[in-house]
């Protein structure tokens, strides 16, 4: 009997290990995901740079490497809307304590209502984008911005002096406009342009002429900015719906993250797995019709995750914060690249056509719990996390399942910010 078992074991061993294409045992070294701890960590190590007690959505880094965060009022009031981090755990209101909260009767162009993001431009100015939606309306789902409250503001990064305020025109606040993210091109036109996403259900993209303050809205209520019909996302393995108490809905967040690279405006539709780009010059050219702008939008394909923030570096690489995958993706938009794709050598020059885009993973890590906004400086990519999908509007009976502290990180990329 023993001899028989040994002989059988020998045959089995030969079948497992010696036969080409034969079966392999299930276990570490042979199979992906053999154990729970085999969650695949991709890319370089994360370096923590700040812990927040509240959940931030916006992040910027100035040229002196100061870190700024925004604490929006989408789920309730926050004492400070924008802060500068003074050390790993501490912050102070920025640019001042007085500007953080509009008081009754105050001109909403002069104070913060609901700042979503803070960004640094290429000439050393810090900008904020304020949705203008008061916290009590945001919590109630009444996303109607106040005229004068929906605005962008520029500040001197050294003195914190307010330089200029640009308000979204009253006519463009119809249909629940909800401005969410912002990028600045200081070189386009006479004095530059601000590009903004409107993440409302109808959605659109806006461009503000920084010379005269005029604003144009593009792609309003079109398929390239609207959420997928009945979209359901995934977060840490759980499906995510919208909730009002026990009433279920589907997420409908439209165009959200922005990056400016290679002369284009890149953006993602949050409640989808789609991202797009369109020429910046075309967007701001008021002699071009909305239909012509829509026809020029490029769709490189889906990217396997809903996306929050975008950013770009000085070599045309766009970074996509992929919340469903606990990851940050990237896609190269200009040659040279490391691979031949569709018969085109990576050593080519010029811009890469949309059909040749290949989205890749920069970093994936269980600590990346909904990366929301990112910035590049001094060779590092900085980003904040906020566990957005665990917030009350996305949890049954509006339970807030987020657990702080909420950590911001940086990861080495060896590149500078897009100019």
Q: How confident is the model at residue 41 (pLDDT cuts 50, 70, 90)?
A: confident
pLDDT in tens, 261-319: 999 999 999 999 999 999 999 999 999 999 999 999 999 999 999 999 999 999 999 99
The reply to whether the predicted model has a pTM over 0.95 is no
Phi-psi region of 237 (alpha: psi -120 to 50; beta: other; left: phi over 0): left
Residue 87's pLDDT is what?
A: 97
Residue 3's pLDDT is what?
A: 43
pLDDT in tens, 112-133: 999 999 999 999 999 999 999 9
Nearest to 382 by CA among 396, 394, 395, 368: 368
Do 312 and 277 meet the contact criterion of CB atoms below 8 Å apart?
no
Q: Is the pLDDT of residue 12 over 90?
A: no
Q: Helix, strand, coil: what percent of the chain each, to 5?
A: 15, 35, 50
Sign of the four-CA dihedral 136, 140, 141, 144:
negative
363: Cβ contacts below 8 Å, ≥ 6 apart: 42, 43, 44, 46, 327, 328, 411
Residue 179's pLDDT is what?
A: 97
**For residues 359-368, average pLDDT:** 95
Whole-angstrom distance, CA of residue 373 vs CA of residue 60:
8
Residue 14's pLDDT is what?
A: 44
Q: Is the pLDDT of residue 2 over 90?
A: no
Residue 419's pLDDT is what?
A: 79
Domains located in the chain, CATH noted: 41-412 (2.120.10.30)
Distances (CA, A) of 205 to 57, 105, 181, 197, 222: 19, 30, 10, 5, 11
Q: Tell me the average pLDDT of the chain.
A: 92
354: Cβ contacts below 8 Å, ≥ 6 apart: 277, 298, 299, 300
Do 351 and 338 meet the contact criterion of CB atoms below 8 Å apart?
no
Count of other CB atoms within 10 angstroms of residue 185: 22
Distances (CA, A) of 406 to 234, 281, 287, 400: 20, 38, 45, 14
Nearest to 386 by CA among 414, 409, 410: 409
- Token representation of residue 100: 């953080």
Q: How confident is the model at residue 11 (pLDDT cuts 50, 70, 90)?
A: very low
Residue 171's pLDDT is what?
A: 94
């Amino acid at each position: 009997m023993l001899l028989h078992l040994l002989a059988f074991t020998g045959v089995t061993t030969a079948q497992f290990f010696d036969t080409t294409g034969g079966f392999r045992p299930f276990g570490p070294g042979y199979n992906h995901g053999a154990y729970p701890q085999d969650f695949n960590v991709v890319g370089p190590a994360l370096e923590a740079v700040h812990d927040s007690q509240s959940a931030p959505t916006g992040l910027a880094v100035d040229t002196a490497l100061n870190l700024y965060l925004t604490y929006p009022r989408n789920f309730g009031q926050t004492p400070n809307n924008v802060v500068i981090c003074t050390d790993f755990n501490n912050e102070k209101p920025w640019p001042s304590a007085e500007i953080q909260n509009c008081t009754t009767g105050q001109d909403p162009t002069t104070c913060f209502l609901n700042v979503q993001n803070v960004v640094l431009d290429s000439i050393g100015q810090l900008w904020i984008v304020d949705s203008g939606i008061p916290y009590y309306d945001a919590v109630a789902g009444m996303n109607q911005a106040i005229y004068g409250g929906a605005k962008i503001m520029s500040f001197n990064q050294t003195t914190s002096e307010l330089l200029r305020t640009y308000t979204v025109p009253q006519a463009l606040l119809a249909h629940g406009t909800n401005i969410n993210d912002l990028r600045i091109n200081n070189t386009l036109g006479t004095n530059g342009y601000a590009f903004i996403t409107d993440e409302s259900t109808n959605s659109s993209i806006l461009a503000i002429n920084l010379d005269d303050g005029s604003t144009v809205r593009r792609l309003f209520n079109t398929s390239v900015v609207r959420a997928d019909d009945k979209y359901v996302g995934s977060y840490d393995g759980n499906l995510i719906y919208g909730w009002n108490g026990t009433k279920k809905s589907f997420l409908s967040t439209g165009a959200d993250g922005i990056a400016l690279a290679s002369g284009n405006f890149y953006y993602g539709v949050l409640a989808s797995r789609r991202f797009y780009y369109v020429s910046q010059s075309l967007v701001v050219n008021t002699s071009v019709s909305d239909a012509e702008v829509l026809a020029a939008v490029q769709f490189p394909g889906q990217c396997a995750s809903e996306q929050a923030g975008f950013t770009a570096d000085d070599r045309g690489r766009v970074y996509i914060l992929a919340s469903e995958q606990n990851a940050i993706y990237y896609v190269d938009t200009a040659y040279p690249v490391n691979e031949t794709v569709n018969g085109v050598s990576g050593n080519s020059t010029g811009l890469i056509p949309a059909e040749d885009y290949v989205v890749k993973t920069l970093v994936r890590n269980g600590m990346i719990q909904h990366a929301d906004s990112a910035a590049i400086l001094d060779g590092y990519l900085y980003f904040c996390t906020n566990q957005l999908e665990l917030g009350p509007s996305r949890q049954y009976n509006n339970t807030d399942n987020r657990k702080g502290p909420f950590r911001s990180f940086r990861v080495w990329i060896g590149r500078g910010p897009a100019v």
